[in-house]
A and B are shown apart, each in its own frame.
Chain A
């Protein structure tokens, strides 16, 4: 059975299944959410108004038999944080279930009567619209628990915390993990507020007796799956007992610190003296010492990398999943906080309230810079989440993210691009990632074009992080490859084994071709990635973005970053070169 589009209208409280139109047929995941948003959403609309939409799509291979590490769900819409197109994807258990219901995408449009909130339940029989009164005002830990009691078959729960209900620009969308905890987030860009603006508190997805994922060429799919699986299982980073499996993404804390590229105390230094105390190695040590947690945790069934963790509290009880590199950096180093227990508690708050932890940590750092707290004040930092929970005026400002908070506190060191704050790599010390931050249609985003692979990690060659030369081309290649991988449904972390192991790359392409019924040599990953980027960039252009929006903040051009004592030196012309091929 060919995949369908499920269109849900929140004004009429109705739904309909549609054939996938030819123009969208070749896309999945990010490619599909972005083309749908570009086709159906007016780029000039208000992100919280009636004309925005929320689009959800599993990747091409999500839900296909034993496709390894392929649980990504793509969420798309116009971002309240950036004012541009937004694609944010998440792990968790939703992608496979949506795919197994035979759905290529879910398009949610319209707004219900003011004050009405709904829980949507999607099954093979359609969509039910239940009142969300029983979960309104609650955090995601409680929401997940209530909905697993209310609905059978341990469904996926896609939900928003209080931040999304109040339509704060830093609201993310939560997806539950196999233990039914929140913590897998389509965090960036405020899509939780877009969901809230549609009057939806949660979407429950139960794939019981669904048609499953149609695989057009099973032999080709299986051939590709084996090659890819072998690559993942043999690469030092992704294999069992490898860096990601033992230490998670936070394996990077000490390394990026060593490279002098760890943004510290609101991007005022490139090294943090407390880095080792909040590192992945320390997480592993705590798990071993305290019990009650785990490393090597998978965020969805079928993940063979298992980079997640469950962090235990002092008593040895599970506290939160997951302390990621980005989270530990944002709420740790960037706030001058070197206490992992506080980082974990703040991560819990982000998961519960429904906040993107990168933007949240950066926002606290801005508040510290503005004098609300001292850098390193962990008790005060944790207390700021109470303000958001209370929805006090201060909490609402903090919930709007870095730029709003910087204005409120008169701070000029504002590490944002297109309104979205930078993640855990200092662009002055790692120039290629700066090009990605500046030029990706998403606003500052490391995943959009992860040049860290060659610039720091020695993957796909060795490149000097401090030089400007060649970085525009490098960033474009990574941005295009990423747009493609984000469309597959595979976790982005397959990028490392497939970049290092040729057969892994071929296997990835073959598995996609097998599902889609294409010839493997008919798939040009980079060209398809560029096509997606073009769609996204054009949306932004129509929304009013110009080359002036493809720039890093001014302070990075004159404030020297220790220990390398470097500034951002990339010529504007080089940045404009990244997407010159579109003109």
Chain B
């Protein structure tokens, strides 16, 4: 199945070929978890604070589904 993955802020250094807000489209087997995709992308677990799937917060052990928009987010906040 295909998923599209985005990373922002300090996590962008691990996928430097992506422009700001650009997605990497990945082919992953069925029953792949969000955490497994993180491992494939070599994003350090301790730097991923939040994962969003289709604009909603998700858990690392959740399964990805075909067409999902997945975003890995580091510690962020602002004002």
Contacts and interface: CB of A to CB of B under 8 A. Distances in A.
B20 interface: yes
Given A255-B73, A496-B75, A243 B52 contact: no
Interface stretch (A48-56, A219-227, A280-288, A409-417): A280-288
Nearest to A274: B21
A242 B74 CA distance: 9
A496 B49 CA distance: 13
Contacts of A255: 8-9, 73, 76
Contact of B75 (A236, A249, A260, A281): A236
Given A258-B8, A258-B52, A258-B55, A285 B20 contact: yes
Contacts of B74: 236, 243
Contact of A281 (B12, B47, B52, B78): B12
A290 B62 CA distance: 42
A253 to B, nearest CB: 9
Contact of A456 (B9, B47, B50, B79): B50
Contacts, number: 110
B76 A457 contact: yes
Interface stretch (A25-33, A116-124, A445-453): A445-453
Interface string B1-13: 0000010111010
A459 B77 contact: yes
B57 A457 contact: no
Contacts of A260: 55
Contacts of A213: none
A276 interface: yes
A456 B8 CA distance: 14
A254 B55 CA distance: 11
B79 A492 contact: yes
A563 B79 contact: no
A250 B10 CA distance: 13
Contacts of A492: 79
Nearest to B47: A236
A516 interface: no
A458 B52 contact: no
A275 interface: yes
Given A254-B21, A258-B52, A326-B79, A243 B57 contact: no
A557 interface: no
Contacts of B78: 244, 248-252, 307, 324-326
A462 interface: yes
25 contacts: A236-B10, A236-B49, A242-B10, A247-B9, A248-B78, A251-B8, A252-B78, A255-B73, A258-B6, A259-B55, A275-B21, A276-B20, A277-B20, A279-B20, A279-B21, A281-B8, A281-B9, A324-B78, A325-B78, A457-B49, A458-B57, A458-B75, A493-B79, A496-B77, A563-B55
